[in-house]
Structure 1
Amino acid sequence: MGDQLKVLILAAEVVPFAKTGGLADVTGALPKALRALGHDVRVAMPRYGQIDRMTFGLQPVSAPYPVPLDNSQEEATLLEGRISSRHGDVPIYFIEQPRLYERDGIYMYPDDAERFIFFCRAALEGMRVLGWQPDVIHCHDWHTAIVPNWLKTIYRQDPFFERTASVYTIHNLAYQGIFGYRVLEVAGLAAYGFIVHPDIPHLNDVVDFMGRGIYYADIINTVSETYAQEILTPQCGEGLDPLLRDRRDRLFGVLNGVDYEIFNPETDPLLPATYSRANLEGKARCKQALQRQFGLEERSEAPLIGAVSRLSDHKGFDLIAAIIETVFQQTEAQLVIAGTGDQRYHDLFASLQHRYRGRLGVAYTFNDELSRLIYAGSDMYVMPSRLEPCGLGQLISLRYGTIPIVRATGGLADTVHDWDPRSRTGNGFVFRDYDHMALFATLVRAVETYKYREVWQDLMLRAMSADHSWEASARRYVDLYQRALVSRRHQQREAAS
């Protein structure tokens, strides 16, 4: 296999080109970390209408080439850009096909199945056009889950891909990409039919992209060790837990990291003041700026709790809604929230802002500069999620010395450990039961601890000293790539014997 691996990463979104969620952060940062380890990593994604050629310096690297689609062919063009990194830039290829991608948005179109099937097929055929033969194709979420299926079927005896292994990463099992039989024809898989599983009846009559990725991939992983265990249960398995249990011998958890080139309080250009473990003065200035931004009382002694989140029950806002007035009545805490979501939460917070002016600030938007100010200017960061496969918010808040208050689920359980004042261990405040009083008790415990300034500063320094950069996670992925290659070779030997 050699020391250097050739890895193709396929994703529907990648920072800084297109982003709707944490998937884009992962697929923008992981390639840089793999490049730093010496591997030849390249990325492919669609060129959506919002990705301007001139802005990102995209250059054509192929003439239009044919891509098989639904018993016919349609042309694609391959453009190349760069993901900048201090360890060397990473090539990123854009699949250009105006009919499918020249639109205002990224998702939620009636032909999404066709759009992402075409992207995946065009990416594979594009590598053939370039003559760059990947050892491993690393697929992310349902949009690219068809690729492991193809490598075991229509590309199985293709000399260009017959030795290529697949790794499939589940970022959120709830979004599976479910379509009808017609999609098999579009994908060229009609002859192979549905997946049949005795304990998952729906797989017998729908095309579940994520299910197919799990079924066919050489290695499967999700984005934290705890979530990898949780999805084996009916409570968290989203109907696919029997299939995941069948393949648990090749299911792993690899915690996401944070891109420390971007999220660094010492150098962050979006902050009103920078700071470090050696000099925390700038953090106080960030808090003052955050209070001013949201029209809060500018009180340094008032504990300021921040949240950047989708406003939904899934993210625990039903718990927050149940206790928020009690928090304001019984503590001096302030709360700032940035995000959009369910209308009932928009209405609730709009009403509460009038009643608790100077204590509550809400911005119904996702804005990178404002989010960064919340991470830096808050004293605490709340994530009471019902489920959280990994979570990046708590990792960023730790980096910025903002103490997380979380429910012990998924990646939150793996990265935030409850503060124990007796042993001076832990880096945050944790509760287990999905219950509003459990959240309330934990918030009160954090607010009371904040009164002890030396203890709180020690907690901040502990948080900032944790290493959640991508290097360790990238090494884990390299191990999974090697495992996938071994598995692929073993299957080929068995087929030949």
Structure 2
Amino acid sequence: MSDRKLLFVTQELDPYTALSTISEKIKNLPVKANDNGYEVRILMPRFGLINERRHRLHEVVRLSGMNIIVDDEDYPLIIKVASLPGTRGVQVYFLDNDEFFKRKQMFTDEDNVEFEDNQERMVFFCKGVMEIVKKFGWPPDIIHCHGTMTSLVPFYIKTAYQNDPVFQDAKVIYSVYEDVIGKNFDKKFFEIAAINDLTEKSLKSFLSDDKIDLNRGGINSADGIVIGSELVEQNVLDAINDSGKPVQNLGDQENFVSESLSFYNELIGE
């Protein structure tokens, strides 16, 4: 298993953020995966509340500098990196842009109102993930996505990037938790998320009862699903049941790490 490559794409991770159960839930998973022989890398947003000095972030010049187009506007993508505490050299790569991530709150303002540009922030992050993994030249065997902000990644892998050799052999896992973004998304989401040669119609899997459903879109494009929280809403559980995909219910913190590793082995046939 020593040659297996495991990519985590997450909206949150302890010790850098602590908004929802995602941060706490998955903090030990990269550590144990690394201990079990996986070559691990992690991608997440560089939210403004992350203390760069404390966590020793520094820019990776060779990876920075590309522009990500969102809604016909160019936004520079800056990549910063830090070593995950408690691991043998696991790197956390932070995707940064002043327009989207400089603010000190993650997804809502001081009045707990969702930022109006969360749609654009999500598309920037997910497209940035795809482009940075290509730039790595590092084809993952497993890509494990955590949280609704990552839900476009499974979809892009199976559509816009399906013929890219970096992603062709990857198994994609999507973990569902309590929702933190998406409640105020509107139909413009389809326009800005239709990157490369995609059309708005190709994103129909993200629509449920005439509303944007980020989890449903992520579920429908994944190879396997993990239920990561006991707070997952019933409509999300229904979407999982409807998908017919392999699923692990890991809402119990006690077995989250060991069962996740077993699920990886199951999906890649080991």
- How would you bin the TM-score normalised by the shorter chain? 0.7 to 0.9
What amino acid is aligned across from residue 74 of structure 1 in structure 2?
Answer: Y
Is the 2:144–2:174 contact (alpha carbons within 8 Å) kept by the matching residues of 1? yes
What amino acid is aligned across from residue 261 of structure 2 in structure 1?
Answer: V
Deviation of the 1:105 alpha carbon: 0.5
1:18 aligns with 2:17: yes
What amino acid is aligned across from residue 245 of structure 1 in structure 2?
Answer: N
Q: Distance in 1 between matches of 2:161 and 2:264?
A: 19
Q: 1:103-124 CA deviation, whole Å, 9 max, x = no partner?
A: 0201121111211221122122
The equivalent residue for 2:204 is 194
Q: Distance in 1 between matches of 2:248 and 2:163?
A: 28
Deviation of the 1:133 alpha carbon: 2.1
1:253 aligns with 2:249: yes
Q: Distance in 2 between matches of 1:193 and 1:51?
A: 32
Q: 1:202-258 CA deviation, whole Å, 9 max, x = no partner?
A: 61533211111111111001137xx5xx97xxxx51x3444222224512112554x
Highest relative contact order (Cα 8 Å, sep 6+), 1 or 2?
Answer: 2
After the TM superposition, which residues 129-278 of structure 1 pair with which residues of structure 2 at under 5 Å, given as runs?
129-172=135-178, 175=180, 177-178=182-183, 179-188=185-194, 189=198, 190-195=200-205, 203=208, 205-223=210-228, 237=234, 239-255=235-251, 257=253
Deviation of the 1:71 alpha carbon: 4.4
What amino acid is aligned across from residue 15 of structure 2 in structure 1?
Answer: P
1:100 aligns with 2:100: yes
The equivalent residue for 2:111 is none
1:58 aligns with 2:66: no
After the TM superposition, which residues 29-428 of structure 1 pair with which residues of structure 2 at under 5 Å, given as runs?
29-61=28-60, 62-85=63-86, 87-108=87-108, 109-172=115-178, 175=180, 177-178=182-183, 179-188=185-194, 189=198, 190-195=200-205, 203=208, 205-223=210-228, 237=234, 239-255=235-251, 257=253
The equivalent residue for 2:260 is 477
Is the 1:11–1:44 contact (alpha carbons within 8 Å) kept by the matching residues of 2? yes
CA RMSD of aligned residues (A): 2.4
Q: Distance in 2 between matches of 1:254 and 1:4?
A: 26
The equivalent residue for 1:368 is none
Q: 1:167-188 CA deviation, whole Å, 9 max, x = no partner?
A: 011122x557242221122112
Change (3 A) 1:474 1:4: farther
Deviation of the 1:137 alpha carbon: 1.3
Stretch of structure 1 that moved more, 44-53 or 147-156: 44-53
Q: Distance in 2 between matches of 1:485 and 1:184?
A: 32
Q: Distance in 1 between matches of 2:68 and 2:267?
A: 27
Q: 1:146-189 CA deviation, whole Å, 9 max, x = no partner?
A: 111111111111222122221011122x5572422211221125
Deviation of the 1:134 alpha carbon: 1.5
What amino acid is aligned across from residue 158 of structure 2 in structure 1?
Answer: K
Q: 1:354-389 CA deviation, whole Å, 9 max, x = no partner?
A: xxxxxxxxxxxxxxxxxxxxxxxxxxxxxxxxxxxx
Q: Distance in 2 between matches of 1:177 and 1:482?
A: 32
Q: Distance in 1 between matches of 2:203 and 2:170?
A: 23
TM-score w.r.t. the length of structure 1 is 0.48
Change (3 A) 1:29 1:166: same
The equivalent residue for 2:112 is none
Q: Determine which structure has more spread, i.e. the larger CA radius of gyration.
A: 1
Change (3 A) 1:480 1:176: farther
Deviation of the 1:50 alpha carbon: 1.8
Is the 2:146–2:176 contact (alpha carbons within 8 Å) kept by the matching residues of 1? yes
Change (3 A) 1:177 1:20: same
Q: 1:410-449 CA deviation, whole Å, 9 max, x = no partner?
A: xxxxxxxxxxxxxxxxxxxxxxxxxxxxxxxxxxxxxxxx
Q: 1:240-281 CA deviation, whole Å, 9 max, x = no partner?
A: 444222224512112554xxxxxxxxxxxxxxxxxxxxxxxx
Q: Point out where structure 1 has 5 or more consecutive residues left out of the alignment.
A: 197-201, 258-467, 487-497
Q: Point out where structure 2 has 5 or more consecutive residues left out of the alignment.
A: 109-114
Q: Distance in 2 between matches of 1:127 and 1:151?
A: 11
Is the 2:2–2:39 contact (alpha carbons within 8 Å) kept by the matching residues of 1? no
Deviation of the 1:45 alpha carbon: 1.1
Change (3 A) 1:176 1:252: farther
What amino acid is aligned across from residue 129 of structure 1 in structure 2?
Answer: K
Change (3 A) 1:205 1:183: same
Q: Distance in 2 between matches of 1:184 and 1:122?
A: 17
Is the 1:181–1:205 contact (alpha carbons within 8 Å) kept by the matching residues of 2? no
What amino acid is aligned across from residue 105 of structure 2 in structure 1?
Answer: G
Deviation of the 1:55 alpha carbon: 2.3
Deviation of the 1:98 alpha carbon: 0.5
Deviation of the 1:42 alpha carbon: 1.4
What amino acid is aligned across from residue 131 of structure 2 in structure 1?
Answer: E
What amino acid is aligned across from residue 167 of structure 2 in structure 1?
Answer: F
